[in-house]
Structure 1
Amino acid sequence: MKCPYCNGEESKVVDSRSTEDNVAIRRRRECLNCNRRYTTYEKVEDISIFVIKRDLTRELFNRDKVINGIMRACEKRPVTRCQIEGIVDSLEKTLNNNMTTEISSEGIGEMILDKLKNVDEVAYVRFASVYRKFDDINSFMEEIKRLIKEK
């Protein structure tokens, strides 16, 4: 870290605290060259994740869009907002930990289905019906049979 006053490259950390929103760490530094103090902020870099849609267009990952899709599947079901947020948190954590910069919408859908299966089976089938574009009752029946086999 270069000193903003003398461009010295060596400093020591005098004080370190989290910011009020706990998103960054505020560090008070003292330059070892000119002895002046300055403040730096350390924050985890967000990686932009692009979603490759079925028509091969790309758009930025939108957490709210994912939450809304899951909420529609969970309508009138005993699934809390906290559980839905947990599914999306887990999805984002997995994508960030894998350093994923692009993922297909199908990949996201499969990850959501995997989590929804453990939360609510009806919501799982609802989400699968839209995501997998069920055409008829047989598609529903095949998915339900597959769900029962996995139990």
Structure 2
Amino acid sequence: MKCPFCNHDDTPVLDTRLSEEGDAIRRRRRCANCDKRFTTYERIELTMPVIVKKNGSRSEFDPSKLRASLMLALRKRPVSAEAVDAAIQSIQEKLLSSGAREVVSGQVGELVMRELKRLDKIAYIRFASVYKSFEDVTEFQDAIAEVGQERKAAAKKRND
């Protein structure tokens, strides 16, 4: 680590502590050349993959857009803010654990649909109707039937 005052390379660490929030390591250093002291922080840097849109353009992952999409689908539905936060966290973890530097927007949409299906079936249908661009009533009926079959299978499994 170079000294921010004189740019000297030799800056030994005097003290190392965990930050108050517990999310960083705080190091006190002293420059061997100018004898000035300074603090550095070491933090984990996680980089979310870049989102590749349908038109080929790329944009940074924005959790606020993810939240807005979920909240729009969940509007006036009985789902807690904690459940929405957990869903967002789950999607982010899946994107990070994929290890990919770029992810097509369709993959994010599929992750959102999976979380919505788990959280609220009505919100899932709302999101799917826009995401999959339903053209007619039959596509709605198919999506509703799919959710109904899953619900029946889950109920049967509980009863067995």
Aligned partner letter, 1:145:
A
Query: In the alignment, is residue 115 of structure 1 matched against residue 120 of structure 2?
Result: no
Evaluate the alpha carbon distance shift between residue 15 and residue 23 of structure 1 in structure 2; reply closer, same or farther with a 3 A threshold.
Answer: closer
CA distance in 1, matches of 2:49, 2:119: 26
Name the SS of the counterpart of 1:38 in structure 2: strand
Query: In the alignment, is residue 41 of structure 1 matched against residue 41 of structure 2?
Result: yes
Aligned partner letter, 1:14:
D
CA distance in 2, matches of 1:90, 1:13: 39
Verify the 8 A CA contact 1:52 1:102 in the aligned structure 2: yes
What's the % identity of the aligned pairs? 34
Evaluate the alpha carbon distance shift between residue 13 and residue 139 of structure 1 in structure 2; reply closer, same or farther with a 3 A threshold.
Answer: farther
Aligned partner letter, 1:125:
I
Counterpart position of 1:91 = 91
How far is the alpha carbon of 1:73 from its aligned partner?
A: 0.6
Query: In the alignment, is residue 7 of structure 1 matched against residue 22 of structure 2?
Result: no
Name the SS of the counterpart of 1:145 in structure 2: helix
Name the SS of the counterpart of 2:88 in structure 1: helix
TM-score, length-normalised on structure 1? 0.82
Counterpart position of 2:158 = none
Name the SS of the counterpart of 1:15 in structure 2: strand
How far is the alpha carbon of 1:97 from its aligned partner?
A: 2.4
* Cα RMSD (Å): 2.4
How far is the alpha carbon of 1:136 from its aligned partner?
A: 1.1
**1:48-87 aligned within 5 A:** 48-87=48-87
CA distance in 2, matches of 1:146, 1:53: 28
CA distance in 1, matches of 2:23, 2:141: 46
Name the SS of the counterpart of 2:41 in structure 1: strand
TM-score, length-normalised on structure 2? 0.78
CA distance in 1, matches of 2:110, 2:124: 11
Runs of 5+ in structure 1 lacking a partner?
none
Verify the 8 A CA contact 2:16 2:25 in the aligned structure 1: no
CA distance in 1, matches of 2:117, 2:102: 24
Q: Choose 48-57 or 132-141, whichever is displaced more.
A: 48-57
CA distance in 1, matches of 2:14, 2:100: 33
Verify the 8 A CA contact 2:13 2:27 in the aligned structure 1: no
CA distance in 2, matches of 1:103, 1:44: 22
Verify the 8 A CA contact 1:18 1:26 in the aligned structure 2: yes
CA distance in 2, matches of 1:29, 1:90: 38
Evaluate the alpha carbon distance shift between residue 101 and residue 13 of structure 1 in structure 2; reply closer, same or farther with a 3 A threshold.
Answer: farther
